[in-house]
């Protein structure tokens, strides 16, 4: 199982949007995909239309190993290949547990070993803060996708995320590599890119190299519409907006040794 963490150390950088559409396209491509909502705000759980009932296990129980791993994994209504480990407000309470465990940064990676043979890809929506949950999410990753708003704030978020990743790698807490940087909310006026967007994306390329900067997610209300309708962009009639995710899936397919059909 290839584990990809969607991480960026600021709010509003497109992490949940990226995780959601990437996971849906992978599942549509007949790839068994596990999604993990590791953000106590649990937006991914909400976007996938999952409503937790009282006492249903979540990522909290999965991390603490208080239930069998499979009891925390739920099918989604979207696709037979798409599954979810959800989150709720109680996930914040796992911070002390991770801090006191002695293996917090690698705990999620260890827990995922129990289901690694079931899925081809695991997509983790990381929290936007540098927290114990964020550390274990990066520790579990084989690769990071870093969404970053095409703005000064987004560039700063990218730098902080790279610094955290490099710090974890220096102490042997992760071997994760960057799969791609995804400029988010790239503003265009007709055929002209906004000056701040252009400057920010150019700075991203200077920081990580041209080959790691993916095609931008342009600012569009279509993403919100697709999320609210719980469908893909192509099902909404805007397949061209899926292009950045299709490029990501091509990168993923080279690592899992599986030919993925995006059609």
Inter-residue contact 246 to 262 (CB < 8 Å): yes
Distances (CA, A) of 110 to 25, 47, 113, 139: 27, 27, 5, 10
In a domain, 263, yes or no: no
| Domain residue limits at 109 | 2-256
63-67, 159-163, 256-260: least confident range: 256-260
- The residue assigned the tokens 């190299």 is 209
Contacts for 155 with CB less than 8 Å, ≥ 6 apart = 148, 200, 203, 204, 207
253-257 mean pLDDT: 81
Share of the chain above pLDDT 90, in %: 79
Q: How confident is the model at residue 263 (pLDDT cuts 50, 70, 90)?
A: very low
Give the whole-angstrom CA distance, residue 193 versus residue 175. Answer: 36
Q: From the CB of residue 113, how many other CB atoms can be counted at a distance below 10 Å? A: 10
**pLDDT of the residue at 262:** 46
Alpha carbon separation from 34 to 4, 131, 212 (Å, rounded):
10, 23, 24
The verdict on residue 200 lying in a domain is: yes
Residue 80 lies in a domain: yes
Helices (H), 126-230: 132-140, 152-170, 195-208, 222-229
pLDDT for residue 232: 87
The verdict on residue 261 lying in a domain is: no
Q: Name the band, by pLDDT with cuts 50, 70 and 90, for residue 135.
A: very high
Q: Which two tokens stand for residue 247?
A: 């490029």
Confidence (pLDDT) at 65: 93
Confidence grade of residue 246 (pLDDT, cut at 50, 70, 90): very high
Q: What is the mean pLDDT of the chain?
A: 92
Give 37-62 pLDDT, tens digit per residue: 999 999 999 999 888 888 899 999 99
- Asked if the structure places residue 190 within a domain, the reply is yes
Question: What CATH number is attached to the domain comprising 213?
Answer: 3.40.50.300
Q: Is the pLDDT of residue 30 over 90?
A: no
Number of domains into which the chain is organized: 1
In this prediction, residue 8 has a pLDDT band, given cuts at 50, 70 and 90, of: very high
DSSP label at 213? B
pLDDT tens digits, residue range 73-111? 999 988 899 999 999 999 999 999 998 887 889 999 999
* Total Cβ atoms within 10 A of residue 166: 10
Inside any domain, residue 183: yes
Instruction: Report yes or no: 29 and 144 within 8 Å, Cβ to Cβ.
Output: no
Alpha helix positions (H), the chain: 15-28, 43-47, 59-64, 94-101, 104-112, 132-140, 152-170, 195-208, 222-229, 233-236, 243-256
Q: What is the pLDDT of residue 257?
A: 67
Tokens of 176: 């994760």
């Amino acid at each position: 199982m290839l584990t990809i963490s969607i991480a960026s150390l600021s709010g509003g950088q497109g992490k949940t949007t990226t995780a959601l559409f990437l996971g849906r396209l992978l599942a549509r491509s007949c790839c068994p995909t596990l999604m993990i909502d590791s953000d106590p705000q649990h937006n991914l759980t909400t976007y996938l239309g999952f409503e937790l009932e009282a006492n249903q296990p979540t990522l909290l129980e999965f991390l603490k190993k208080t239930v069998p791993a499979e009891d925390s994994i739920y099918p989604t209504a979207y696709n037979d290949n798409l599954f979810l480990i959800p989150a709720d407000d109680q996930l914040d309470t796992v911070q002390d547990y991770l801090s006191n465990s002695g293996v917090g940064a690698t705990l999620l990676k260890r827990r995922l070993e129990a289901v690694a043979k079931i899925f081809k890809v695991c997509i983790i929506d990381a929290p936007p803060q540098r927290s114990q949950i964020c550390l274990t999410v990066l520790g579990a990753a084989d690769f990071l996708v870093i969404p970053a708003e095409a703005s000064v704030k987004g560039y700063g978020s990218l730098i902080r995320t790279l610094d955290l990743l490099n710090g974890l790698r220096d102490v042997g807490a992760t071997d994760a590599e960057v799969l791609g940087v995804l400029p988010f909310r790239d503003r265009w006026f007709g055929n002209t890119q906004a000056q701040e967007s252009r400057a920010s994306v150019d700075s991203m390329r200077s920081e990580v190299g041209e080959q790691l900067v993916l095609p931008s997610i342009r600012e569009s209300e279509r993403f919100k519409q697709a999320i609210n309708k719980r469908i893909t962009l192509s099902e909404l009639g805007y397949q061209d907006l899926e292009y950045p995710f299709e490029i990501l899936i091509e990168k993923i397919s080279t690592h899992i040794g599986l030919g993925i059909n995006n059609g």
